[in-house]
Amino acid sequence: MIGPDRDDDWWPRMVMVKVLAQYHDATADPRVIAVLTRYFHYQLAALPTRPLHTWGKYRWQDEVLFVEWLYERTGDVSLLHLADLLERQGYDWISGFASFKYTGVTSRARLEAAAIRGDKSEAMETHGVNNGQALKTAAVRYRLSGDAANERARFRRQMETLDRFHGMPNGMFSCDEHLAGLDPSHGTELCTVVETLYSLEVALSTFGDVAIGDRIEKIAFNALPGAFDDDMWAHQYDQQANQILVGLNSKPWTTNGPESNLYGLEPNFGCCTANFHQGWPKFTSNLWMRSPDGGLVATLYSPCEIETTVGDHKISLRVETEYPFKEDVRIILSPETSVRFPLRLRIPAWAQAATIRINGQPTPIDTTPETFALIDRLWIQGDVVDLHLPMVPSVSRWYNNSLALMRGPLVFSLDSGQSWVKLRDRGLTADWQVYPRKFWNYALLVDEHSATQVEVVEHAVGMKPFAATMAPVKLRVRARRIDTWRSEDGVAAPIPNGLQTTDLPDEMLELIPYAAAKLRITAFPQLGEMSAVRATNE
Ligand SMILES: [Zn+2]
């Protein structure tokens, strides 16, 4: 056994197993292999009489991932028996999503009534973090079974089901802290953001689907920084895609408390404080991967430096870019000696007519969206690959036919001003409420066809790229206020459905990146053409 002897819960040990394996990835400390081998043998013997329960039962796949990790290093066949036993004692996420029951807002009253009966199944199956962690289940199973086609289909069904019934325009699903439907006034817990990212990174490395990389960037560049203040000293438990007030109102949360969307040290509960720091490091460690043919793959884009090997050759790489704000990614290769290997670059689904230059020369390399572009050549010291990913504004549809705007991997929001009011000091940091300074209730005059014409304004990328005061890219959109769209107890009322009309004047709004707008509207009603024409005639 590892850990304190005052409780015998398997779940906190699953976290420790992950910590130890990642510590070994960083340090190669041989004690990790020894302790995990002995612990897993102990658990294999103990599980039949002391089975998984509560959190461990719903998060078993997070341990199996590291049982596989150890098997890949030691070949100890008993580990395969442990993986099998953990899955058989754990909750069957695959069947749960094959006949999905949770298609609306989870009822707090129903969960409380079930808890009195001692039944936690609905609370666990609708729990946001559980669902985020469970998105690696099919990938973990595929690593054991080799059944790529079926497990990929199961992963996609899980994603599509969460999107269909609980999807948010920031790339996440609602969970405050249980699945909460499609209204963007509902919240998403920060732990779920980082656990979903981690699951998707496992799924990307396993299935190799470009779409998974696109989703990782959407979450990492929007929902993740959207839950922090500009210096990361305060974070939210629940963020909202439409967040008109950060305060102490009762809010629409399924089970969370009234402080859940404050920015602070540990609003609502300390779990996110202990968890949110895994977001950026795990994202960073998945920027590059190795392909089965011995090549290197740029899976996600951010500035970085890589020291690795291809075959017996040492190679270092440097990525210079202001992505996701700008369209260009430069990769500078420095192999110790000239070496031939395949280099693959992810071409996102949104990137039409991407181009690749090598040492300044245009190339005919296939850059079809949602593929990996392949460059197979002899690489020499100082080779430069320039990838250009055109970012054109686009519109997608959400709750009540609302509109959300994206450009490249960034989601854009209306910032309704930020008046920060300290609620209480918390040692080195503080808990904050945020009040709006401007109107938020606008409808946009834009649709799927006209979105490409939306004006893009670019500025230099500063030291705090996700700060509202120095937003490096903005979208200018025509809009009008809809004064019948009001707030109810600190949240925006349901988005008015259908084409909106109003006699209020045209305004030109500047939308900024989602994460920069700490008070924001992201899903907007649509302004009808007729009202605009009538106003022009008047
Ligand atoms: Zn949390």
Q: Which domains does the chain have, with CATH numbers?
A: 1-90 (no CATH), 288-388 (2.60.40.1180), 394-537 (no CATH)
Q: What is the dihedral of CA 305, 273, 132, 125, to 10 degrees?
A: 170
Secondary structure letter of residue 518 according to DSSP:
S
The answer to whether residues 214 and 204 touch, using CB atoms and an 8 Å cutoff, is: no
Q: What pLDDT is attached to residue 535?
A: 44
Q: Which residues contact 120 (CB under 8 A, 6 or more apart)?
A: 54, 114
Per-residue pLDDT at 251: 81
Residues 418-440 as b or e (16 or more Cβ within 10 Å = b): beeeebeebeebbbbbbebeeeb
> 492: how many CB neighbours lie within 10 A of its CB?
21
pLDDT of amino acid 249: 85
Q: For tokens 């909750």, name the residue.
A: 91
Measured between alpha carbons, how far is residue 53 from residues 3, 11, 58, 89 in Å? 18, 9, 8, 8
Residue 532 has a pLDDT of 43
Q: Residue 39 has what pLDDT?
A: 98
CA of 135 to the centre of ligand 1 (A): 17
Per residue in 412-458, pLDDT (tens digit) is 999 999 999 999 999 999 999 999 999 999 999 999 999 999 999 99
Cα 269 to ligand 1 centroid, rounded to whole Å: 7
443 Cα–ligand 1 center, Å: 33
Q: Which residues surround ligand 1, an ion (CB under 5 A)?
A: 191, 271-272
Tell me the pairing of strands 355-358 and 313-321: unpaired
**Residue 154: predicted pLDDT:** 98
For residue 222, the CA-to-ligand 1 centroid distance in Å is: 18
CA of 268 to the centre of ligand 1 (A): 9
Interval between CA 237 and ligand 1 midpoint (Å): 6
pTM of the model: 0.97
pLDDT tens string 214-269: 999 999 999 999 999 999 999 999 999 999 999 998 788 999 999 999 999 999 99
Amino acid at 319: V
C-alpha 242 to ligand 1 mean position (Å) = 20
Question: What pLDDT score was predicted for residue 536?
Answer: 45
Rounded to the nearest angstrom, the distance between the alpha carbon of 2 and the centre of ligand 1 is 24
Write out the two tokens for 289: 């991967």
Ligand 1 centre and the CA of 255: distance in Å? 13
The rounded Å distance from CA 126 to ligand 1 centre is: 15
State which residues of the chain have pLDDT below 50.
530-538
Q: How far apart are CA 382 and CA 367, in angstroms?
A: 23
275 Cα–ligand 1 center, Å: 7
> Token pair of 438, please?
């401007």
> Which residue, 257, 261, 278, 136, is CA-closest to 193?
278
